[in-house]
Amino acid sequence: MEGLKKEIFDKVKDYFDMKEHKLPDKIGVAYPCIDHREVNQVIDSLLDMWISQGPKVKQFEKEYSEYIGTDFGVACNSGSSANLLALTALIQAGYLKEGDEVIVPASTFTTVISPILQTGLVPVFVDIELETYNNCPTAIKNAITDKTKLIMAVHSLGCPSKMGEIVKIADDHGLYILEDCCEAHGSSINNKKVGSFGTISTFSFFVAHNMTTGEGGMVMTSDEKLYDILTSIREFGRLKKYEKNQPRFYYEDGFLNDYDERYVFTNIGYNLRMTDLAASLGIEQLKKLDNFNKLRLETAEYYTQSLKKYDNYLMTPTIPSGCFHSFYGYPIVVKPTAKFTRKELINHLESRNIETRAFMGGDLSIQPAYRDTICKVPFEMPNTKLILNNAFFIGSHSYITKQQKEHIITAFDEFFKKEILDE
């Protein structure tokens, strides 16, 4: 059987070796970078009949937690679910309660905010800083009240938040930290991976991200109490100690007597499990992540160097000292003093088959879904407003070719030649 399995794996490799790899004509902001190794991992799970949560999930959790530098990883079906799990676990552990305030950056994605509201907590929007496009530590400090219990530090587009300052603020005020690292796989500060600074952290493995499981997420923590709750609520709220090889019908607590342990539920939970098929992709993707990120950084540096001549018109990203930026995307801000608009620039890029994306939700405090909720905005947010009106990002994924990068810069040059001549 093993010989036949090897033959199948070899045939898959032969297929990929023979297959002509052609990128889409449009240069996208993301592209799934997989080959025969990911496919063979999935086939291995299928042949072993593990298509739901099983040994590959456990392997992926172990390897990813070792990579990030936490004691535990709990895989789930999306980054959004990861945030829901993390917040629910913090509440069920008694660390948070309904009505507690959570400080979040206003310029982020909806999967940061919706789980806060869904768990009965109160989002408090604060301004970002333009150096990182992340939480502004000063804004965080100013927004703290006696109801504040949690800081959500979001590492946008792969750029690490200023965790040294944020951790100090949290320590000084007795607050917990949830790091949203959904766009920051492998990013680090002084060689310490993001996701290892806070009480708990979350990752997404969506198909567009630096590494992918198709759909999927992970919650990371070194808090064993949280880990026990996370593993339970991920799977219906099932009794944590249940293992398939244990004897049946032995649970007793005075209400349930000699009951099947598989059907004892100690927490209010969900079904948010990752499948072994998804984890199979993740196991191979993790092996490639550092190289993926190296290529992303090289692309970002090429963009920055090539666009430097347009500094009067554009803000391009900087990398904070001591940080590794994994560049999920390459953000660009059209300066308010420019004689053209963001819309004009992105329309030109799109006409040249270059995909652009708005900077996530821009300002979530004014998005329709959140206007009539209990969200709080204690202060003006000028940087968030600038991002809302002037920011976008382009692709920096590891499959972008030299010719495509040159095409992107040529498109910028074409636009600015026209704009400068028109001034």
Euclidean distance between the first and the last CA atom of the chain, given in angstroms as a whole number: 72
Question: In a 3-state reduction of DSSP, which class is residue 389?
Answer: helix
108 and 156 in contact (C-beta within 8 Å)?
A: yes
d(CA 167, CA 161): 11
d(CA 208, CA 220): 21
Residue 178 DSSP class: E
**CB 344: neighbour CB atoms within 10 A?**
14
Q: 21: buried, middle or exposed (CB in 10 Å: 19+, 13-18, 0-12)?
A: exposed
Strand order in the sheet with 200-204: 72-76, 217-221, 200-204, 176-180, 148-154, 101-105, 122-126
Question: In a 3-state reduction of DSSP, which class is residue 423?
Answer: coil
211 and 205 in contact (C-beta within 8 Å)?
A: yes
Hey, which bits of 288-352 come out as E strands? 314-315, 323-324, 330-334
Q: How far is CA 250 from CA 155, 206, 233, 240, 366, in A?
A: 46, 40, 22, 15, 53
Residue 273 DSSP class: P
Q: List the catalytic residue out of 209, 325, 348, 397.
A: 209
**CB 179: neighbour CB atoms within 10 A?**
28
Whether 173 is a known active-site residue: answer no
Question: b/e for 265-294, b at 16 or more Cβ within 10 A?
Answer: ebbebbebbbbbbbbbbbbbbbebbeebbe
Helix-, strand-, coil-residue percentages of the chain, each rounded to 5: 45, 15, 40
Residues classed as catalytic: 209
